[in-house]
């Protein structure tokens, strides 16, 4: 009587479980590196979180973390119930950002891009990017802006907060990284499952030992 050794059943279970674990790992990576998808950009950028300042004037702003920030000119705006409206073209301004802790100045770089705008749904607030800056350390800073010609009016509104363009590219980079890592995990798990299936197939084709019965 001739018999064959069959591979253990756990190999079949393992071959089925590995792809499932790979899919779960892919989902975890995407969620961890790009939370809030879809609509990630909308979750990260909130106009209400921008700090408004009436110019000419100054205001202390607390930055919770270091990184790229921007100054926007809101040619349509509302501050404390007062409506401000002006030309779409930003006026000539001089702005200075100073740390209230160290008195060190932070570079405020001209970065006017007409296409980099934002607005509320009712267009009550419409802003355009005019300056970029990089905060070296979290803390409180004093932003002071004035007209280059020293004119005290008209009063306009600036808004300070995350650089939306930088945020967009940062989110895009995290999304691509998550997708690449997820695909690597998924491909690796599929390859491992295929190896297990091949091992099972080889074991099934291997001739068994002859068993002699008396």
User: What's the pLDDT tens digit per position in 165-207?
Assistant: 655 544 444 555 555 555 565 566 566 666 666 666 666 666 5
Average predicted confidence (pLDDT) for the chain: 76
Contact (CB, 8 A) for 103 and 35: no
- Same domain for 88 and 67: yes
Contacts for 27 with CB less than 8 Å, ≥ 6 apart: 182
Q: How many domains does the chain have?
A: 2
Tell me the residue range of the domain where 19 lies. 9-37+172-205
Q: Which of 150, 133, 124, 147 is nearest to 99 (CA)?
A: 133
Is the pTM value of this prediction over 0.95? no
Q: Do 180 and 166 lie in a common domain?
A: no
Instruction: Give domain status of residue 127, yes or no.
Output: yes
- Say whether both 19 and 58 belong to one domain: no
Q: Model confidence over 70-105: pLDDT tens digits?
A: 999 999 999 999 999 999 999 999 999 999 999 999
- Measured distance CA(47)–CA(125) in Å, rounded: 9
Cβ neighbors of 57 (< 8 A, separation 6 or more) are: 144, 145, 155
Q: Please state, in angstroms and rounded to a whole number, the distance separating the CA atoms of residues 70 and 50.
A: 10
Residues 68 and 160 in one domain: yes
């Amino acid at each position: 009587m001739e018999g064959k050794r069959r591979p253990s059943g756990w190999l079949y279970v393992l071959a089925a479980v590995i792809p499932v674990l790979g899919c779960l790992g892919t989902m975890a990576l995407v969620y961890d590196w790009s939370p809030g998808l879809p609509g990630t950009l909308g979750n990260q950028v909130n106009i209400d979180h921008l700090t408004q300042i009436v110019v000419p004037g100054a205001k202390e702003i607390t930055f919770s973390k270091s990184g790229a920030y921007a100054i926007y000119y809101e040619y349509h705006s509302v501050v404390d119930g007062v409506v401000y409206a002006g030309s779409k073209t930003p006026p000539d301004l001089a702005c200075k950002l100073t740390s209230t802790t160290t008195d060190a100045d932070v570079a405020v770089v001209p970065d006017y891009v007409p296409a980099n705008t934002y607005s509320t749904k009712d267009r009550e607030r419409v802003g355009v990017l005019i300056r970029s800056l990089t905060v070296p350390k979290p803390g409180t800073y004093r932003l002071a802006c004035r007209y280059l010609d020293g004119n005290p009016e008209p009063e306009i509104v600036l808004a300070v907060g995350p650089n939306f363009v930088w945020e967009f590219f940062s989110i895009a980079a995290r999304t691509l990284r998550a997708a690449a890592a997820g695909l690597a995990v998924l491909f690796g798990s599929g390859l491992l499952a295929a190896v297990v299936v091949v091992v099972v197939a080889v074991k099934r084709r291997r001739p068994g030992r002859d068993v002699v019965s008396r």
